[in-house]
Amino acid sequence: MRRRVVVTGLGCVTPVGNDVATTWQALLDGKSGGGPITRFDSSKHKLHFACEVKGFDPSLYMDRKEAKRSDLYTQFALAAAVQAMRDAGFEHGGYDPLMTGVIVGSGIGGIATFEAQHDVFRDAGPNRISAFFVPMFIGDIAAGVVSMRFGAKGPNFATQSACATSSHAIGEACRHVSYGDADVMIAGGSEAAVSPMAMGGFANMQALSERNDSPTTASRPFDSTRDGFVLGEGSGIVILEELGHALRRGARIYGEVAGYGATGDAYHLTGQPANHEGLQRSMRRALEDASLTPADVQYVNAHGTSTPMNDSNEIRAIRTVFGAHADGINVSSTKSATGHMLGAAGAVEAIVSLLTIVNGIIPPTINLHSQDPECDLNCTPNTPVTRNVSAVLSNSSGFGGHNATIAMRRLAG
């Protein structure tokens, strides 16, 4: 029989808070992480704002030498992992290292390191490239660093599926626990792509909002005036644990990861098919895997990027999957506050989705003042909603046609 998997620890670093409690309260308060870019001089760029992490201190999680040899995305990942392991009661052990694994992905990896070292190469030649260049920028190194911090010798790798990366990480980690490959998995994603090349690339493909005059209101999912996403950064990590293992040690359980759906569009590099049928299949698969019906679900944390194509497509997909029950659910996009954290987005949104179950409060979609008629569901505009939530879906999609849906529910007998 498949083993049941629960979440016993949460950790995150986001543009609206450097831990879970601060992030959650900021989402409920409707705070935006948008602001002027400080990571680099954006004067030659056409866009000058992003959702940056603020006031992050890597020395809280690693020594100065280690921080110097780590890209920011790895620093974020380790910070979130330390928080999550502490939250789970594992900070000082209590787990079998051989049965503890790590899946932490990144959509882009250490792009800021790559850019900086390319400048060194161009200006001073190949002999001046840092010996730490490769392990700093590769997309799997955060998983390796986290595993070394905690001595985790179980399954260890990184997922990379653009903006679906960390949802895939959680789903695949859940399966490793279900199948008995591990009793505990550290899973999620991290991103630090507020960099000159990434900003320029996303801007030139017209994926980003161009509201330089209003960074805090630029991310406006489901709104008729939306014009693109706002680039974000950060990390989200969850601790997944086999139910019996968690119960035996008296762990606090946030909820159960009950189902996982993963599909491909096989359609376009960056676009989506009409009504996003790939995401429909992902949601249906997650519901089936969880033995849930649409009527069992109260909340969907949408991918909700604030792009003209995604939002209406996703709403139509949700309406198709949920049918007559669609008008009875709440949908929201917390990217309205955090911006689009790319490979970290799915994990942070899974954390948010779990907290709606724990707290009975659904965070709003902020900046939603003129709802697009094509986004015709209850998108929870601007104000949090108190509601008894027992089951949720969290959706993610990525360039290349990747879709992932995580189904979570309150732990039942």
Residue tagged active-site, from 168, 176, 276, 303: 303
Alpha-carbon gap, residue 8 to 245, rounded angstroms: 11
Radius of gyration for the alpha carbons in the chain, expressed in angstroms and rounded: 20
Residues 207-228 as b/e (b if ≥16 CB within 10 A, e otherwise) read bbbebeeebbbbbbbbbeebeb
DSSP 70: S
Catalytic residue check, 402 = no
Catalytic residue check, 92 = no
Tell me how far CA of residue 141 lies from CA of 173, 240, 329, 355, in angstroms.
17, 20, 39, 29
For the beta carbon of residue 191, count every other beta carbon within 10 angstroms.
32
Catalytic residue check, 48 = no
Alpha-carbon gap, residue 182 to 176, rounded angstroms: 6
- CB-side neighbour CA atoms (13 Å) of 281: 12
Alpha-carbon gap, residue 303 to 315, rounded angstroms: 10
Residue tagged active-site, from 163, 174, 375, 379: 163
Residue tagged active-site, from 340, 375, 379, 402: 340
Tokens at 163, concatenated: 């903006």
Apex 287 CA angle, 7 and 404, nearest 5: 70
Tokens at 295, concatenated: 């009527």
Pairing of strands 34-36, 299-301: unpaired
Q: Which residues is 189 bridged to in the sheet?
A: 105, 236
Assess contact for 347 and 237: CB atoms under 8 A: yes
Q: Which residues is 385 bridged to in the sheet?
A: 362
Catalytic residues: 163, 303, 340
